Structures are given as structure tokens and as C-alpha cells.
Amino acid sequence: MRNITIMLLTTVLLLMLSVGIGVSYYQQSPSRDELVIVVHGLARSDNAMWLIETRLANAGYDVCLLDYKTIGQDSQLLFADTEQQIARCLNGQKTHFVGHSLGGLVIKNFLNKSSSHNNIADLGEVVFVGTPNHGSEVADALRDHYIMTLGGDVTQSLMQGSDTLGRQVGKNTIPVGVIAGTKSNPLTAKYFTAANDGFVSVESTKLANMKDFITLPVGHSAMRYDGEVATQIMHFLENGQFHHRN
């Protein structure tokens, strides 16, 4: 049974693999004169963030999408690439950041560097969505599986512990809004002992200096398309806090 579960999980993770490189810039309306830099997660490309991009653009934001390789990639090369891409996005506007999963760590790395941070004329709000700030229990469970070797340094660095990527990039220096999912996945549920989104536990998403925090009943991958997640992101960009309905 365990082998069948691992095979199914491996198939799911392999289907996630995709590559991309470059920057996509989308402008729907100049009405806000504010920029949102959107950063995708592990094994994805800019295409994975198309619906968030569209929703932000329809709300009047200028949107710049990052597009970078993660599978088989060295984490330092990834950071060097994304730092350059973010620098190309900056245009003097008030600038917000939204990162899904690994994308939050990419943003954190950029903002923790004063030389990069100083290039932002007017820093707005920062939102992390399902970001494994303290690693992923699923990555831990697969640490000895060949898929981790296939995934390379970035994938392996998402395992928990003192070397997890969230710690490598340092403590968060900018107060952020954090969205965590609570809809688990049957294939990965046994790897968790508490609320999770199927890949990242709720506790792993939390940061010491969060500006605000909210949980939503959404799975890890589905967060990119979920309407309530998008609504909460935009509410935070406008108000510096989430809309807590209870």
C-alpha cells in the first residue's frame, strides 16, 4: 500500500514539472498607477499565475509576472535570476508583491537585500500564499526518494530543518500578509499531524512579524485560482489587512 501511495504521489509531483524563463508584463488599466509583482511556485511557470494576473489587472493594477526555472536548479542561481527579473519589473510605481508557495521565498530573498530593497521607490504590501517558510512535511517524507534528486537543490531545500530555504534567506524584514490553506490532500494527509493544504502545514506558513494572517479552506495548488484567495489578496493590497468575516 505504501508503494502504491508513493507511486501516486510521485506521478502527481512529476505532472507538476514545468520550466520557463523571462518576465511577462501585463497592463489592463493604468487607473491605480500601482504595480504588483507576482511570483509563482515550485515546478511552475508564469502561466500558473494567469488568473491572479487577470484579476489584479481587472482591478486596475499593473502586473509583472516572473518566470523562472525551479526543477534541477541551484537555489543561488534561482535567486540571482529572480533578483534581475524583479529589478526589470520596477518602474518607479508603488510596488506590491504576491508570491505563491516558493514564490514567497523568492520575494523574501529580494526584500532582505538592502541593495535590492533600495531600488523600490515606494514599497506597498507583500502577500505570501501557501509559502513554506519553515519547510514542507511532504518534502521531508520524500527525502530519500529519487524524485528529490530529480528536483535538484531547490526542491531538496524545501525540506524542514535548519537548512530549509526559508531560513537560508534570513528572517523576514518586511511585515507581510500570510494566507494559509486548510484543505488537505488524501495522498499526503498521513504526512501531517495538523492543519495543512496538502503540501505545507498552516504552522509552516507563519512568520514572527506577520502583519496579518488568515486561513482559507483551499488546497495548495488551487490557491492560485481560488476566488476568495484573490479577493483576500486584493483586500490586503488596498487595506494592509485581510477581510476577516467572523
Q: What is the pLDDT of residues 175-212, one digit of tens each?
A: 999 999 999 999 999 999 999 999 999 999 999 989 99
- Residue 209 has a pLDDT of 87
Mean pLDDT, residues 61-70: 94
Q: What does the pLDDT look like over 20-58, one tens digit per residue?
A: 334 444 444 457 899 999 999 998 888 999 999 999 999
Mean pLDDT, residues 161-186: 89
pLDDT for residue 137 is more than 80: yes
**Residue 86 · residue 23 · CB < 8 Å:** no
Instruction: Find all residues with CB under 8 Å of 111, minimum gap 6, and list them.
Output: 97, 117, 123, 126, 173, 174
pLDDT for residue 242 is more than 90: yes
Among the listed residues 83, 69, 9, the one whose alpha carbon sits nearest the alpha carbon of residue 40: 69
**Residue 232 · residue 179 · CB < 8 Å:** yes
Going from N- to C-terminal start, the domains of the chain cover: 2-239
Grid cell of 210 as nine digits: 506577520
Torsion sign over Cα 41, 45, 51, 54: positive
Among the listed residues 165, 181, 241, 235, the one whose alpha carbon sits nearest the alpha carbon of residue 210: 241
Grid cell of 194 as nine digits: 495538523
Within 10 A of 3 (CB to CB), how many other CB atoms are there? Answer: 7
Tell the CATH superfamily of the 2-239 domain: Alpha/Beta hydrolase fold, catalytic domain (3.40.50.1820)
Strand ranges (E), the chain: 22-27, 34-39, 62-67, 94-100, 122-129, 177-181, 212-216
pTM score, two decimals?
A: 0.86
Q: How far apart are the C-alpha atoms of 69 and 55, rounded to whole Å? A: 24
Mean pLDDT, residues 129-155: 82
Under DSSP, the state recorded for 171 is: S
pLDDT for residue 129 is more than 90: yes
**Residue 52 · residue 90 · CB < 8 Å:** no
pLDDT for residue 243 is more than 70: yes
Instruction: Find all residues with CB under 8 Å of 60, minimum gap 6, and list them.
Output: 28, 29, 30, 31, 32, 34
